[in-house]
Amino acid sequence: MSELSAKVIAGDPRSIGRLITLVENDAPEAVEAMKQIHRYTGQAQIIGVTGVMGSGKSSLIFELALVFRAEGKKVGIIAIDPTSPFSGGALLGDRIRMMDLSTDSGVFIRSMGTRGMMGGLTSALYDVVEILDAAGMNVIIIETVGVGQDEVDIVKIADTTLVVLIPGLGDSVQTIKAGLMEIADIFVVNKADKPGVEQTVAELESMLDLVGHTEYRTPIVATSVKEKKGIQLLTSKIAEHQEYLKKSKTFDTRRRQRYEAELIEIIRKRLMDFIFDEKKLKKTVDCCIDQISKKELDPYTAADEILGKILK
Ligand SMILES: Nc1nc2c(ncn2[C@@H]2O[C@H](COP(=O)(O)OP(=O)(O)OP(=O)(O)O)[C@@H](O)[C@H]2O)c(=O)[nH]1
Ligand SMILES: [Mg+2]
């Protein structure tokens, strides 16, 4: 095992950061390390947090992190394309507490951008989750803004997905539109210090009624980071969902789905890398052009042979 892998497994923050950077830069050493650390993964609880922009996802994550830290758990936080950095959007009094978190060795925080990573974010995200897991984080929390494809991906990775909304008109309609309804394991109505919470909760309840009776009914938790309300209830709902996953065997199913999605992602990425490497591609097909010209080989058979070689 490489020194880097060993240090990552030992939980060394600098090495964790370095390996993540290698992964993001698509460095060959990253693949070696990823191979080595896989067998040290599988212990972490993975929580996805998605939802409306500015709904307080980062603020909530910090509150959750504090609770998990108080329970003695190590926490990894991944923020994808954060529009407001953790420190920037914080409620005034919380900034100091957040500083405490960022200097706490039991917490590892990392932001990941989608820009400049052609099709690479998802596969890099799987890697980062594996890295934090292998590094001994007991809980890994991933924040994404719930627009577009991202929230669908988070569902493939997370054990428990929180969808964060805020009181006010049209939120629940937005939820159905964005397909967030299906992905929520827990609905959070944050900023419950603002008017209209009851109505938003009621709307969500009646939407859930429409879904009908299921073994697991998505709980709705009203929280206020500002007034420090509902956080404990939220953590207990997360724990209940974990229990449900384990009892109903859904946990194993989800983990299998995650590995399936991860494997497909790696294969997709490798193929893409190959296809977009114009020079390499040209060189690979070069050998057959003569034969095709002389009618010794047809293009389809040639393609089969080349693909066979690539995929071997
Ligand atoms: N009134 C009130 N404001 C809150 C609450 N939670 C967060 N905020 C404020 O809402 C704003 C956005 O909070 P963030 O935690 O950055 O929200 P976010 O969902 O992570 O935002 P993006 O990552 O930009 O989508 C900040 O100004 C917070 O201080 C709350 O419970 N009540
Ligand atoms: Mg945020």
Identify the pLDDT of residue 213: 74
Question: Which pLDDT band, with edges at 50, 70 and 90, does 82 fall under?
Answer: low
What is the residue with the minimal CA distance to atom 10 of ligand 1? 56
Question: Which pLDDT band, with edges at 50, 70 and 90, does 89 fall under?
Answer: very low
Tell me what the mean pLDDT of segment 186-196 comes to.
94
What is the residue with the minimal CA distance to atom 17 of ligand 1? 56
What is the residue with the minimal CA distance to atom 14 of ligand 1? 56
What residues does the ion ligand 2 have nearby, CB within 5 Å?
Answer: 57-58, 82
Query: Can you give the pTM of this predicted structure?
Result: 0.88
> Which pLDDT tens digit goes with each residue over 209-222?
887 777 899 999 99
> Which pLDDT tens digit goes with each residue over 248-272?
988 999 899 899 989 998 888 888 8
The secondary structure of 97-160 as a DSSP string is HHHHHHT-TTEEEEEE--TT-TTTHHHHHHHHHHHHHHTT-SEEEEE--SSTTHHHHHHHH-SE
Whether 195 has a pLDDT exceeding 90, the answer reads yes
The secondary structure of 195-221 as a DSSP string is TTHHHHHHHHHHHHHHH---SSPPPEE
Give distance in angstroms: CA of 66 to centre of ligand 1: 17
Taking the CA atoms of residue 136, residue 145, residue 167 and residue 109 in that order, the dihedral angle to the nearest 10 degrees is: 30
Q: Provide the 3-class DSSP secondary structure of residue 46.
A: strand
Q: Do residues 11 and 135 make contact, with C-beta atoms less than 8 angstroms apart?
A: yes
> Domains of the chain: which residue ranges?
41-263, 277-311
Q: Which among 49, 58, 59 is the best mutation to test ligand 1's pocket, defined by most ligand atoms within 8 Å of the CB?
A: 59
Identify the pLDDT of residue 279: 84
Question: Which pLDDT band, with edges at 50, 70 and 90, does 120 fall under?
Answer: low
What is the residue with the minimal CA distance to atom 22 of ligand 1? 54
Whether 127 has a pLDDT exceeding 80, the answer reads yes
Give distance in angstroms: CA of 257 to centre of ligand 2: 27
Using a 10 angstrom Cβ sphere, with 0-12 exposed, 13-18 middle and 19 or more buried, the burial of residue 31 is middle
CATH number of 41-263: 3.40.50.300
In short, whether 145's Cβ falls inside 6 Å of ligand 1 is: yes
Identify the pLDDT of residue 171: 56
Q: Which residue has the higher pLDDT, 171 or 30?
A: 30
Tell me what the mean pLDDT of segment 191-211 comes to.
89
In short, whether 254's Cβ falls inside 6 Å of ligand 1 is: no
